[in-house]
Amino acid sequence: MSYQETYWESINDPEAFWLREAQLLQWIAEPPAALSLDEQGRQRWFRGGRLNVSQLALDAHVEAGRGEQPALLYDSPVSGSREQYTYRQLLDEVSRAAGMLRDLGVGHGDRVVIYMPMIPEAVIAMLACARLGAIHSVVFGGFAANELAVRIDDANPRVVLTASCGIEVDRVIPYQPLVDEALRRAEHKPARVVYVSRPQAQVAWDENRDLDWHTQLAQSAPAEPVAVDATDPLYILYTSGTTGKPKGVVRDSGGYAVALNWSLGAIYDLHPGDVFWTASDVGWVVGHSYIVYGPLIRGCTTVVYEGKPVRTPDAGAFWRVISEYRAKAFFTAPTAFRAIKKEDPEARHLQDYDLSCLENVFVAGERLDPPTYEWLSQTLQRPVIDHWWQTETGWPIVANPMGIEPLPIKSGSATVPMAGYDIRVLDDSGRELPAGEQGNLAIRLPLPPGCLPTLWNDEARFRKSYLERFPGFYDTSDGGLIDEDGYVYVMGRVDDVINVAGHRLSTGEMEEVIGDHSAVAECAVVGIHDDTKGELPVAFVVLKDGTDIDQERIEEDLVAMIRNEIGAIASLRRVAVVQKLPKTRSGKILRKSIRTLAKEAREQVPTPSTIDDASSLDEIADAIQTYNLGRYAS
Ligand code: COA
Ligand code: AMP
C-alpha cells in the first residue's frame, strides 16, 4: 500500500485500520473493538482488550525464539562501562526487579517514581513496573530536588527507584542529596527508596527507608506479567505547561503498544533483529517510546548511551556508537548535531568509522533548521528525517513514512501526517485556513491510539489545555502551515513553552521561581534564539522600589535559584534589569515583541496597538543592547 492509501484508510476507517494493527501483537484478551466511548463519554482505544506491555516487550520474543538476540546494549563513555543483555537476560532481570517491587508492596495501579541516569536499570525499572501493572513516572535526572518533589506529590508513589549518582561528562552528580531534599519537601512520603549503587558515589543509608537494588534483586523471586486493561495507564510523564505546575501526561497501555509497533515499521523502517539507537534520555518521551518500549515491543535491539555528542570524549562519539553497534537507524535532537558541527565542522571524526550499517537518521524535539539539515545530509549522505511530535502524542504526528514509501524531503518540513492524525491549520477563531497560510496546528478528534487520554488527576486541565480552544480538535499549541502538497511545516510553540537543547521548559515556571526573590517586583522570561541550543531563556526583571542590588548580584542570585529549583538544564544565564515590562492595557506581557526585539532592531518591530506604554519596548531594546543579549540572535 502507498502512503496515501495507508493514511486515508487510517482516517476513513480507523476501526479496521487499528484493529488490524492490534492483531499483530500478542493480547491476553483481544480487544472487541478499536474505538469506543468509556463511562465518562471519552473516546478510548481497545477497551475490553487485556495485555501486559512487558510481556509484549520481552516474553513474546523469547517465546518466538529470539531469546539469544541482544535486546539492550549499554555504552557509557562517562563510566567506562559496556554491557549487553539478550532478550532472555533482560526478561530475567525485569522479572526479578518486578519481584522486588512486589515484595515492597507495589501492585497493579500503584505508582513508582524512577529518577535514574542512563543505565540499564532505568529500562529494567520501567519494564518491571509494566510487568506488575504499576504506573511508572520517570523524572529526568537533570531536574533539581524541587521538580522531583512536585512530581512525587502529584503521583503519590509507593516507592522511588534511583541510583547513587549520574555522571555529566567528568562530573559525578550524587543523587542522594537531591532525593533526600525532594522527600523533605514533598508532603507525600514514599515508604521506600531503592538505590542502584554505582562505584562513583556511595549512599549513606537510612536503614528505615533506603534499600540496595542489587541486594534486593538477589533475594527476589521472579514475577509473572499481570494482565491489565488496554486503557490502564502504563505511565505518567510530566511535561512543561504554561504554568509552574507540570502536566502529568497519562499514557494508556494497549493503544500505545499498537501505535509504537506501527510507527517502528512504517516510519523508522525497523523490524525484528534491527538495531535502533536513540540518543536521548529515558526521562523524556523520546526515551520512553524509542529507547524502551518501541524497539523492544518490535523485537529490535536498543542502545542505551550514557554520554554526550561531544566531550565524551570527542565529536566522533555518535559515529563510534553507530558503527560499533551497527545501528540501522539513529534518532536524536538537532541540537546534538549542532554541537557536533560546532566542534568538528568538517566532520573529520567520521573518517575513523564505518557507517555502512546506517540507513536513516531521524531528528525531533525542536525544529530542524535548514543549515543543520544541509550539513547533516551532506555529511552523512543519507536521508535525514525530521519528524514532529510531543510528549502528549507519544509518537510522531508528522513524519516521512520510510517503511511504507519514502517521500521526497523538503527542507524545513517534517513531511506528512502519520496514521490517524487529521491535521488542520486554524486561525485564532477556529476557522480552517487554506494551504500555505500559517496558523494554529490542530488535530481533529479522535486522536489516534497512543496519545494521551487525560492528565493525571486533572481531567479539567486536560480539557482546558487541549480541547476547549478549538471544539472537536486537539490543540497542539504549535504554529505552522500545510503546503499545496500536504507537507506540514512546524514553526514552533504559540504558548510560553520554550525548547532549550531539545528540552521542553516552561517560562511561566521560571517566572514563578524568579518572582520569589525578595528584590523582584515582576519579570518576564522569554526564549531567545541560540545557535547551538535553539533557544535560551533570558529574564527581564523589574526590581522593587527602593531595592539596592546591582545587576551582577541579581543575575547571580536568579541563575542560582533557577539551577536549584528547576535544574541546570534550564540554562538560564542572563538577566536584564528594566524599569518596566511591555504590557497590553489589560496587563498581558508582550513576550512576542520582546523575542522579536532580540533578533531585530527596534525600528523593525511594530508597536502593538494594544500596548499600554510604547516606551517600555524602547527600554527592552536598549537593555538587549546594553546586556548584549542580541548576541543570541542568528
Ligand atoms: N543530570 C544532571 N545534570 C544534567 C543532566 C542530567 N541528566 N543533563 C544535563 N545536565 C546539566 C548539564 O551538565 C549542564 O550543566 P552546566 O550548566 O553546569 O554545564 C546543564 O544541565 C545544561 O545541559 P545541556 O543543555 O544538556 O547542555 P550541555 O552543554 O551539557 O550539552 C548538548 C549540550 C546539545 C550537547 C546536549 O544538550 C544534548 O546532547 N542535547 C540533546 C538533547 C536530547 O537528547 N533531547 C531529548 C529529545 S530528543
Ligand atoms: P516534547 O513534548 O518535549 O517532545 O516537546 C514537544 C515540542 O517540541 C513540540 O510542541 C514542538 O514545539 C517541538 N518539536 C518537537 N519536534 C519538532 C519538530 N520536528 N519540528 C518543530 N518543533 C518540534
- Using the mean position of ligand 2's atoms as its centre, give its distance from the Cα of residue 602 in Å: 29
CATH number of the structural domain spanning residue 149: 3.40.50.980
222 to each of 94, 135, 216, 226, how far by Cα in Å? 8, 19, 12, 12
The pLDDT tens digits for 509-551 are 999 999 999 999 999 999 988 889 999 999 999 999 999 899 8
| Residue 297 parent element (H or E) | helix 294-298
The CATH number linked to 518 is 3.30.300.30
Angle at 189 between CA 187 and CA 190, to 5 degrees: 145
Q: Among all ligands shown, which has an atom nearest to the Cα of 290? A: 1
| 263 falls within a domain | no
Ligand 2 centroid to 249 CA: how many Å? 15
- The confidence score (pLDDT) of residue 284 equals 97
User: Which among 569, 571, 572, 574 is the best mutation to test ligand 1's pocket, defined by most ligand atoms within 8 Å of the CB?
Assistant: 569
Which sign, positive or negative, has the C-alpha torsion 486, 491, 495, 497?
positive
- Cα gap 84→72, rounded to integer Å: 6
Residue 632 reports pLDDT greater than 70: no
* Ligand 2 centre distance from Cα of residue 473 (Å): 18
Residue type for position 394: G
Atom of ligand 2 nearest to the CA of 493: 12
Residue 118 inside a domain? The answer is yes
| Residue 130 included in any domain | yes
How are beta strands 171-174 and 165-168 bridged, if at all? antiparallel
- Rounded to two decimals, the pTM is 0.96
Q: State whether residue 489 is helix, strand or coil.
A: strand
Task: Identify the pLDDT of residue 631.
Answer: 53
Nearest alpha-carbon partner for 261 in 24, 11, 5: 24
Q: How confident is the model at residue 633 (pLDDT cuts 50, 70, 90)?
A: very low
What secondary structure letter does DSSP report for 107? -
Residue 109 pLDDT > 50, yes or no? yes
C-beta neighbour count of 430 within 10 angstroms: 16
Residues touching ligand 1 (Cβ under 6 Å) are 141-142, 166, 168, 173, 280, 284, 286, 308-310, 332-333, 335-336, 339, 364-365, 501-503, 568-569, 571
Task: For residue 369, report the distance from its CA to the centre of ligand 1, in Å.
Answer: 20
Pocket test for ligand 2, best of 395, 416, 478 (most atoms within 8 A of CB): 478
Q: How far is the CA of 537 from the centre of ligand 1 (A)?
A: 15
**pLDDT value at residue 604:** 87
Q: Nearest CA to 394 among 443, 444, 452?
A: 452
The residue range of the domain holding 515 is 501-633
Residue 571 lies in a domain: yes
- How far, in Å, is the centroid of ligand 2 from the Cα of 491? 10
Which residue among 305, 335, 342, 367 has the greatest number of ligand 1 atoms within 8 angstroms of its CB, and so is best to mutate? 335
Choosing from 390, 418, 505 the residue with most ligand 2 atoms within 8 A of its CB, the one to mutate for a pocket test is 390
Atom of ligand 1 nearest to the CA of 310: 35
Residue nearest to atom 19 of ligand 2 (CA): 388
Strand, coil or helix: what is 97? helix
* Residue partners of 171: CB distance under 8 A and separation at least 6: none
Protein residue with least CA distance to atom 22, ligand 1: 569
CA of 385 to the centre of ligand 2 (A): 14
Average confidence (pLDDT) over 134-154 = 97
Give the per-residue pLDDT at 244: 80
Give 306 Cα–ligand 1 centroid separation in angstroms: 12
CB atoms within 10 A of CB 3: 19
Taking CA atoms only, the protein residue closest to ligand 1 atom 24 is: 569
Task: Give the C-alpha distances (Å, rounded to integers) separating 553 from 71, 548, 549, 560.
Answer: 51, 10, 6, 11
The answer, yes or no, to whether any atom of ligand 2 lies below 6 A from the CB of 332, is no
Note the pLDDT of residue 634.
41
Long-range interactions of 407-412: CB distance < 8 A, separation 24+? 407/3, 409/383, 409/384, 409/385, 410/483, 410/487, 411/370, 411/373, 411/374, 412/368, 412/370, 412/373, 412/489
* Nearest residue (CA) to ligand 1, atom 18: 568
Q: Is residue 288 pLDDT above 70, yes or no?
A: yes
Distance of alpha carbon 416 from alpha carbon 12, whole angstroms = 17
Q: Which atom of ligand 2 is nearest to the CA of 490?
A: 21
- Provide the 8-state DSSP code for 485: T
- Ligand 1 centroid – CA 570 distance (Å): 9
- Which ligand lies nearest the alpha carbon of 305? 1
Tell me, yes or no, whether 278 lies in a domain: no
> Is 525 in a helix, a strand, or coil?
strand
| Nearest protein Cα to ligand 2, atom 21 | 367
Mean of the per-residue pLDDT values of the chain: 96
Cα 207 to ligand 1 centre (Å): 33
CA of 499 to the centre of ligand 2 (A): 8
pLDDT at 269 over 90: yes
pLDDT tens digits for range 348-388: 999 999 999 999 999 999 999 999 999 999 999 999 999 99
Placement of cell 552523512 in the chain: 380
Whose CA is closest to atom 6 on ligand 2? 390
- When computed from its CA atoms, the radius of gyration of the chain, rounded to whole angstroms, is 24
Residue 235, SS3 per DSSP:
strand
Mean pLDDT of 173-189: 98
* Pairing mode of beta strands 81-86, 247-252: unpaired
| Predicted pLDDT at 628 | 80
- Domain assignment present for residue 199? The answer is yes
pLDDT at 630: 64
pLDDT of 592 reads: 86
In the chain, DSSP finds a helix count (H) and a strand count (E) of 20, 31
Q: Which atom of ligand 1 is the closest one to the Cα of 140?
A: 7
Task: State the number of CA atoms in the 13 A half-sphere of 436 facing the CB.
Answer: 1
In a domain, 168, yes or no: yes
Query: Domain boundary at 179, 198, 226, which?
Result: 226
Residue 218 has pLDDT above 50, yes or no: yes
User: Is it the case that residue 306 has pLDDT exceeding 80?
Assistant: yes
Question: Which DSSP state fits 629?
Answer: G
Whether 525 is covered by a domain: the verdict is yes
The answer to whether the CB of 367 is under 6 A from ligand 2 is yes
Averaged pLDDT for residues 474-481 = 98
- Expressed in angstroms, the distance from the first to the final Cα of the chain is 43
629 CA from centroid of ligand 2 (Å): 25
Q: How many domains does the chain have?
A: 2
Q: What are the cell numbers at 299? A: 523485537
Report the alpha-carbon angle 195-219-216, nearest 5. Answer: 10
* One-letter-per-residue 3-state SS of 158-194: CEEEEECEEEECCEEEECHHHHHHHHHHCCCCCCEEE
**Gap from CA of 571 to ligand 1 centroid (Å):** 9
Percent of the chain whose predicted confidence (pLDDT) is above 90: 92
Distance CA(187)–CA(170), nearest Å, equals 34
The answer to whether 257 and 288 have CB atoms below 8 angstroms apart is no
Collapse the DSSP code of 371 into the 3-class scheme (helix H, G, I; strand E, B; otherwise coil) and give the result.
Answer: helix
Q: Quick one: cell of 62?
A: 523469547
C-alpha cell at 548: 539596592
Looking at 226, 251, 286, which one is the last position of a domain? 226
Quick one: which of 252, 355, 263, 337 has its CA closest to 300? 263
Q: Tell me the percentage of the chain whose pLDDT exceeds 70.
A: 99
Tell me the β-bridge partners of 506. Answer: 497
The two most distant CA atoms of the chain are separated, in Å, by 74
Say if ligand 2 is within 6 A of residue 288 CB: no
Q: Which atom in ligand 1 lies closest to the alpha carbon of residue 500?
A: 25
**CA 163 to centroid of ligand 1, rounded, Å:** 19
| C-alpha cell, 581 | 515590562
Of 193, 209, 226, which closes a domain? 226
Judge if the beta carbon of residue 289 lies within 6 A of ligand 2: no
> Chain-centre distance of CA 46, in angstroms?
25
Tell me what pLDDT residue 183 has. 98
Q: How distant, in Å, are the alpha carbons of 338, 440, 481, 537, 617 from that of 595?
A: 22, 19, 21, 10, 11
Closest-CA residue, ligand 1 atom 46, reads: 280
